[in-house]
Structure 1
């Protein structure tokens, strides 16, 4: 597949890294020649220096015979113009744009074929906001991801000394769960190395464990491996940029929120747009300010500025002054790996969080969801099985009959989305329903046509092999 990526920033570079392979011919366009050279030295791709929103540059990049344009420059206007040119001048089949402004995202008609011709709009700031909100709901988790339209949750936790399952084989987890509940340990990472989870595998304290279960069952399952922390009530946000204001608006109705912003003009904008959150003009690395605002009583400190060093410093200071939990945005991967698990509990890479949404629209086969795990080292896929026993390598077969690559775990299958399932009660008369049947995968689980299969790949290079397994033979109609 021939793909042109417009923009070589954090998102563009991450997308390029995720797509470079023998099957993909990648060209990256950016006006910064130095940045392009660095990316070209690192990855096997072609680079074009120039303005991505001009026909001549798109032509030089090969738009005339491209299969896809991914416009992820810093400018919404450039991304929109590039998509329109790709459609009207070069007839590129698939056009994806990164958009930050709500104006474009809220009016779907602007992105239609007749207007800017955007097939899929990616808003990284909103993706990151949703991601952080899930972490707030599960304060004991390192990562919380959803699959199958929210029917299944995958949660990464750190196993602690004294947990019910720690020191025992994982097959005993079923003994701790009610009969109507099932779950799967999809992967274990011990001292940064993957441990393939089998029935006799023993969980050790300190292991990073990825638990998967139906969304309504994930909390009871979590209790097997983690102490349940008290619910989050008080949150302090450092940084009132695009992510900070989106998050504050989302959280202020349910939580006590304080936002620290260092720019006077921006602080005034925040104060006008936020209803309940308290906006503070100041420096989040100011120890006196944090103490005055009772940082020790905060349940969560979120360092969300555009500066990695500021986020690390303010987050470390907040933890030293007594804040229970600290999350920081860290753009540089080396920084994220270095600081996580110290004063900062979770380091979030914005590019790695948002890339999964985009990759789901790029992957070969019918991939419904992609989540980048462990800062891009591993991936979890939700992939739809098509065909029948004659045309597919997976349909009509038990999981133990399929030749899965080493390092791949099938965690769950979701089927029959038209089927309503009662998952709880709000009162004696009102049932809580969800759509789709969740089947936690075991060795004898049969994969059926149109099943959504959730697969965990401990190494990124395994993804292509999994996609090939799900490809349907040519004679399938």
Structure 2
């Protein structure tokens, strides 16, 4: 498949890197330095120029593209690019926007702006935050099989009850599968085998029924995951903060919002009647103490700048908040945030790149979650007659699959099936599997 990516920033570069191994990728960007850097780092063709310029698109041979992804940081540029492509090519267009008003228009009028599929950065970030808030102690949560299956990453503290146990010893859950272990939380994702020891300060990736994933969360950190999340404080009334509060309220959680600007605070109070809104400086320790920030089950810092979000998150933790989640605009700061005390750092651009990458995978790959770092993935595939799994037990089929693959879950007619060695996979089943980076191409062809 030929994929044309317009915009070589964090989102575009990440998409190009993820797709270049298995697809022909062409990247267009107005910045010659970005184009040159991407040409050296990835196996892509690159063109310097404005993606809204028809001459530039023709130079990139847009007429040969199967998919065009407009991923610059400017909404209007992305929409103009898609509209231009829609006129001169039959390519499927994907447009990235930050403002939800464009998304609402597109949803109300399918095909508006010449966009076939639209992703909204702020909305995706808010949804990622809400999933993590809903599962205390989780680092990342992704739904599969229409919500019947969850993939979750958990950091294992050094004093966790399961630290030092093997995977076989920690696996006490009928409807859950350990698929990977990342040593020290940032190493290469290794397949979780029965004799793999779960070290303290490592990260584990599990796939299973949502109920079993929650039970496992309690086994990692019994006190931290025991209670229901009821009190969430959103610091910063940005669009991401508003969307996060809105979705928390839809789950029955009564959020508190702290917004410095009085006019914006008043606007939020009118738009979100289920939330309590304060107009104050969230970096004021006396205010945080007075408003009992220590009672919060989670604090979400989304202040628009990384420095302010980091400060607010750390102050809230110091005052006793159970958990701090921060929106990080610069992907290179994610590890820094989590090293200095933020529990989970969410980078909107990375979340967006993952969503677009998922949508541009081979058509049979219905869902993809990228395990960072290293490029390993958890994928959902509907099994057809040509699949190596069709009509065979998992044990038999594993002989024809590379070592870096673990079947984590199966759903059949909407029902969860626990994958075991003697489980026979049927045509039409949805299989959720962990795949190491170096096994992507072979697995894609066989599953």
The normalised TM-score by structure 1 is: 0.83
Instruction: Supply the distance in 1 between the matched residues of 2:335 and 2:371 (Cα, whole angstroms).
Output: 13
Higher mean C-alpha displacement, 157-166 vs 66-75: 157-166
Aligned length: 440
- Alignment-derived partner of residue 465 in structure 1: 442
Between the two structures, name the one with larger relative contact order (CA 8 Å, sep ≥ 6). 2
Instruction: Supply the distance in 2 between the matched residues of 1:145 and 1:37 (Cα, whole angstroms).
Output: 34
Cα shift at 1:456: 0.8
Instruction: Supply the distance in 1 between the matched residues of 2:47 and 2:264 (Cα, whole angstroms).
Output: 36
Higher mean C-alpha displacement, 214-223 vs 59-68: 214-223
- Alignment-derived partner of residue 450 in structure 1: 428
- Alignment-derived partner of residue 324 in structure 1: 322
Seen in structure 2, the aligned counterparts of structure 1 residues 230 and 131 have a Cα distance that, compared at 3 Å, is: same
Aligned positions of 1:156-235 closer than 5 A: 156-160=153-157, 165-172=162-169, 176-177=172-173, 181-191=174-184, 192-227=187-222, 228-235=225-232
- Alignment-derived partner of residue 371 in structure 2: 373
Cα shift at 1:337: 1.8
- For the Cα contact (< 8 Å) 1:352–1:376, is it kept in 2? no
Q: 1:241 aligns with which of 238, 243, 249?
A: 238
- Alignment-derived partner of residue 68 in structure 2: 69
- For the Cα contact (< 8 Å) 1:128–1:350, is it kept in 2? yes
* Cα displacement string for residues 335-361 of structure 1 (whole angstroms, at most 9, x for unaligned residues): 212331542111122222233322222
- For the Cα contact (< 8 Å) 1:104–1:110, is it kept in 2? no
- Alignment-derived partner of residue 18 in structure 1: 18
Instruction: Supply the distance in 2 between the matched residues of 1:144 and 1:311 (Cα, whole angstroms).
Output: 22
- Alignment-derived partner of residue 430 in structure 1: none
| Structure 2 runs not aligned, ≥5 long | none
SS in 1 for 2:89: coil
- Alignment-derived partner of residue 84 in structure 2: 85
* Cα displacement string for residues 108-139 of structure 1 (whole angstroms, at most 9, x for unaligned residues): 566535x4342222122222222211212111
- For the Cα contact (< 8 Å) 1:157–1:226, is it kept in 2? no
Cα shift at 1:190: 2.2
Kindly indicate which of the two structures has a greater share of residues assigned to helix. Answer: 2
* Cα displacement string for residues 346-393 of structure 1 (whole angstroms, at most 9, x for unaligned residues): 112222223332222211250010012235643111112222xxx443
Cα shift at 1:320: 1.7
Aligned positions of 1:34-433 closer than 5 A: 34-92=33-91, 94-107=92-105, 111-113=109-111, 115-160=112-157, 165-172=162-169, 176-177=172-173, 181-191=174-184, 192-227=187-222, 228-252=225-249, 254-263=252-261, 265-375=263-373, 377-387=375-385, 391-401=386-396, 402=398, 403-416=400-413
Cα shift at 1:246: 0.8
Instruction: Supply the distance in 2 between the matched residues of 1:234 and 1:376 (Cα, whole angstroms).
Output: 35
The normalised TM-score by structure 2 is: 0.88
